[in-house]
Structure 1
Amino acid sequence: MPANKSALSRYRIIDRCLRNNMHPFPDKDYIRNKCEMEIFGELSGKISISQIEKDFEAMRNDKGLGYYAPIKYHKVRKGYYYDEHNYSIEKLPLNPQEEDALKFASLTLYQYRNISIFEHFKEAIDKIYTRLSLSRQPGDPMVDQLVQFEKTLGSDGNDWLQPIYHAIANNHPISFEYDNIYKQEHKTFSLVPYLLKENRNKWYVIGWYEKHAAYLTFALDRMTNVILEPKIVVKRTDFNPESLFKNAVGIMGGSDHPIDLVIEVKEPISVLLEKHPMHHSQAITKRLKDGIQVSMQVIDSPELLSQLLSFGKHLTIIKPLELKQQFKETLQEMLAQN
């Protein structure tokens, strides 16, 4: 029996749930809630447990779908999983129904790509439409041989986008466990989330952490066991994303006073820097024989230092002297380790 678009959406969500290493062995209730949140944006009760059971059966045995998904139940963990390592319906060729649904969705998005609500997604929409215009079958080897799109490595933590968005929209705090890779700590936090922000294909949540009386940033791919707390809080009135990230290079915003950074950059990196500024405050203060001198007002952060290091031998830091010294010490440490 042909599957409708809603069923195809549920199959994809079920597939992601069964492959989610951050929440292994999901039960039917967890999967049902995930389907409702992604399809309807809320826990509406429109999808029943029996519907999930029927979806399992279709994914396992429906010849029209052709998934033959190895979905098994783990009696000890009391949840479901794929019996074949690395199995995913996303690795299978699309059937005609899925091709039609995908083409229809891409055409719809393409028609509205210039509307302000889709402004931040225009590049992604154009890429999807271009790919499907070349061939309706994403696995077409001819297209892969002749056209190579940039591939984004998958980022764990994207499953937390929907519940955190729900928490922000409805003024709920969240609690979660977090791995701080810099301090090598694993701690539990309770946060009032204010903003989801994407940076370099990774997602972050910015929120108020009462213990430190400050806004902190957390990477979603280092969060586990995210729980939406039932209480409703009154949001602070001093949160201003534009102000928070005004002087940031990357994701690490803050209220710290920015530094006046002056650097000299030689060609060919200077050409790239002029075309793709590091920061909106970047200004050319002097044109040199073999490059440019630029100034900007930015927060001193590990992200800033990392970007400056990427310029290599083409960079000279003029000021501040403290950053120049930090740059030298970092280079000396790198040399000592190699």
Structure 2
Amino acid sequence: MPVNRNALIRYRTIDNCLQNRFRKWTLDDLIEACSNALYEFEGIDKCVSRRSVQADIEMMRSDKLGYEAPILVVDKKYYIYSDKNYSIINIPLSNQDLKVLGEVSALLKQFKGFSHFSDLTEMVSKLEDKIHAQKTHSPPVVRAE
């Protein structure tokens, strides 16, 4: 599990770096940023390898994780997102994801009213709002009880 968590930290770090369009990011800059992030979040004092960051960039570009990040190399040196508004955290949900979330929401609704699950009502409402917003491409609605 730690390897997966470390990879996710690196993906988020690379994403944050490439969103900052006021700086040109070389591979060495991304390696340093990833190493700093792993030290900050996990206490790992070991430098991230060049190959790991290159593999992370390729994984982010691919559709294996659903990111399909539009990462380009400019002047054979600098990494950027071709879409300035892109971020791996803003990826829309697929129809299959929405279907599964709908099923989860229906399952969680069955626990409404139980005293052990008092916080569940609000969480289910938020989940339903997010699902509705994704399906209709409209902003979430505020609900009043």
Question: Is residue 60–residue 67 contact of structure 1 (8 Å, CA) maintained in 2?
Answer: yes
- In the alignment, what sits opposite 2:123? 134
Task: Specify whether residues 47 and 72 from structure 1 end up closer, same or farther in structure 2 by C-alpha distance, changes over 3 A only.
Answer: same
Q: Distance in 2 between matches of 1:22 and 1:51?
A: 25
- In the alignment, what sits opposite 1:220? none
Could you list the structure 1 runs, at least 4 aligned residues long, displaced by more than 4 angstroms after superposition: 93-96
SS in 1 for 2:80: strand
- In the alignment, what sits opposite 2:142? 146
Q: What one-letter code is carried by the residue in structure 2 that aligns with 1:57?
A: E
Using CA pairs under 8 Å that are at least 6 residues apart, name the structure with larger relative contact order, 1 or 2: 2
TM-score between both structures, scaled by the size of structure 1: 0.28
Task: Specify whether residues 94 and 141 from structure 1 end up closer, same or farther in structure 2 by C-alpha distance, changes over 3 A only.
Answer: closer
Where do 5+ consecutive residues of structure 1 fail to align? Answer: 97-129, 148-338
Q: For each residue in 1:64-108, what CA deviation from the matched residue of structure 2 results, as whole angstroms up to 9, or x when unmatched?
A: x111111110017x2100112311111114799xxxxxxxxxxxx
TM-score between both structures, scaled by the size of structure 2: 0.60
- In the alignment, what sits opposite 2:12? 12
- In the alignment, what sits opposite 2:26? 27
Structure holding more strand per residue? 1
- In the alignment, what sits opposite 1:69? 69
Q: CA deviation at 1:34?
A: 0.9
What CA RMSD, in Å, does the superposition of the two structures yield over aligned residues?
A: 3.1
Q: Which has the larger radius of gyration?
A: 1
Structure holding more helix per residue? 2
Q: Distance in 1 between matches of 2:53 and 2:70?
A: 15
Q: What one-letter code is carried by the residue in structure 2 that aligns with 1:36?
A: S
1:100-139 equivalences under 5 Å are 134=123
- In the alignment, what sits opposite 1:88? 87
The question of 1:39 aligning with 2:35 is answered no
SS in 2 for 1:146: coil
Q: For each residue in 1:172-200, what CA deviation from the matched residue of structure 2 results, as whole angstroms up to 9, or x when unmatched?
A: xxxxxxxxxxxxxxxxxxxxxxxxxxxxx
Q: Distance in 2 between matches of 1:10 and 1:40?
A: 11
- In the alignment, what sits opposite 2:116? none
Q: What one-letter code is carried by the residue in structure 2 that aligns with 1:69?
A: A
Q: Distance in 2 between matches of 1:62 and 1:86?
A: 18
Q: Distance in 2 between matches of 1:145 and 1:59?
A: 32
Q: What one-letter code is carried by the residue in structure 1 that aligns with 2:123?
A: L
Question: Is residue 70–residue 81 contact of structure 2 (8 Å, CA) maintained in 1?
Answer: yes
